[in-house]
Structure 1
Amino acid sequence: MSNSFFYDTIEKIQSKIDDIKATSMCFVSEDNFILYNFRDNLLNSVSAFNKLDTLIIKPVGGNIKIEQVRDVEEFLMYKPNYAKVKVVFFEDIDRLNIEAANAALKLIEEPPEYALVFGATTRWNYLLPTLKSRFIRYDLSIPSVLIENINSKYGEIAIYFNFFRYYDSRVLLFLNEEETDVSRIKEVVERIVNSSAKNVDELLSNFKLSLDFPENKLKFSLSYYKLWNILINSNDKEFFYLIKNISKIKNDVENLSFLRNISTLGAILLRDAMVFLNSSKWKYFWNNSLVYFFGLNEHIVDVDIEQIKDTVSYMNRISTMRVANFNFEMETFTHFFRIKRCFIKAIK
Structure 2
Amino acid sequence: MEWFNGVVSDRLARFLARNSGISVTLVGRDSEYLKTSALSLVESDPKWNRKRYIEDFLLIEPEKGNIGIDRVRDIEEMMLHKPSGGKRKYLLVHQCEKMTDESANAFLKILEEPPCFATLIMTTTSWQSLLPTVRSRTVSVVVDVPEELIGKLRDKYGNSVSRIYACARQNFSVLRFFLDQEVESIDWGSMEVPSDLNGLVSVLSESEVNEPIDIVRRRRAFAALCRSIVESDKFFTTFREISPLFIGQGSFERSRELVEVARSILRDVVILSADTSSNSVVNLDLIEWLVSFVPGKEILADFAWCDRFLRQRTSSQNSNLVSFRALYSVSRSLVRRENGGNSDA
TM-score normalised to structure 2 length: 0.72
On the 8 A contact 1:302/1:346 being kept in 2, the answer is: no
Give 2:131's match in structure 1, choosing from 115, 128, 132. 128
On the 8 A contact 1:94/1:121 being kept in 2, the answer is: yes
Structure-to-structure mapping, 1:1-348, within 5 angstroms: 4-6=2-4, 8=6, 9-13=8-12, 18-44=17-43, 46-49=45-48, 50-51=52-53, 52-59=55-62, 62-65=66-69, 69=72, 72-73=75-76, 75-98=78-101, 100-102=103-105, 104-105=107-108, 107-108=110-111, 111-179=114-182, 181=184, 184-185=187-188, 206-207=203-204, 211-229=209-227, 231-234=229-232, 236=233, 246=242, 255-276=251-272, 282=278, 284-293=280-289, 295=290, 297-305=291-299, 308-309=302-303, 312=306, 316=310, 321=315, 335-343=326-334
Cα distance between partner residues in 1 of 2:112 and 2:100: 18
C-alpha spacing 1:258/1:115, structure 2 compared with 1 (3 Å): closer
Cα RMSD of the aligned pairs, angstroms, is: 4.4
> Can you give the 5+ residue segments of structure 2 that lack an aligned partner in the other structure?
341-345
Give the SS at the match of 1:158: helix
How much does 1:266 deviate?
1.5
Cα distance between partner residues in 2 of 1:320 and 1:86: 29
- 1:268-318: per-residue Cα shift (whole Å, max 9, x none)? 22233345567778355443554324x2x3311443236624763696499
C-alpha spacing 1:124/1:232, structure 2 compared with 1 (3 Å): same
How much does 1:155 deviate?
0.6
Cα distance between partner residues in 2 of 1:116 and 1:175: 33
Cα distance between partner residues in 1 of 2:311 and 2:72: 29
Percent identity of paired positions between Structure 1 and Structure 2: 23
C-alpha spacing 1:170/1:322, structure 2 compared with 1 (3 Å): farther
Q: Which amino acid aligns with 1:142?
A: V
Cα distance between partner residues in 2 of 1:345 and 1:145: 34
Decide which structure has greater helix share: 1
Aligned equivalent of 2:343 = none
C-alpha spacing 1:279/1:98, structure 2 compared with 1 (3 Å): farther
TM-score normalised to structure 1 length: 0.72
Cα distance between partner residues in 1 of 2:104 and 2:19: 22
How much does 1:216 deviate?
2.1
Cα distance between partner residues in 2 of 1:302 and 1:72: 50
- 1:54-103: per-residue Cα shift (whole Å, max 9, x none)? 233345672443x6556545543543232321222222222445555455
On the 8 A contact 2:293/2:335 being kept in 1, the answer is: no
How much does 1:220 deviate?
2.7
Cα distance between partner residues in 2 of 1:162 and 1:256: 24
Q: Which amino acid aligns with 2:261?
A: L
On the 8 A contact 2:13/2:45 being kept in 1, the answer is: yes
Question: May I ask how many residue pairs the two structures share in their alignment?
Answer: 332
Give the SS at the match of 1:108: helix
How much does 1:10 deviate?
4.7
How much does 1:170 deviate?
2.2
On the 8 A contact 2:251/2:319 being kept in 1, the answer is: no
Cα distance between partner residues in 1 of 2:296 and 2:63: 46
Give the SS at the match of 1:81: coil
Cα distance between partner residues in 1 of 2:328 and 2:260: 16
C-alpha spacing 1:341/1:301, structure 2 compared with 1 (3 Å): closer
Q: Which amino acid aligns with 1:213?
A: E
Give the SS at the match of 1:174: helix
- 1:151-208: per-residue Cα shift (whole Å, max 9, x none)? 11211232454433553222222222224546633x667x66xx9x7x6676666445
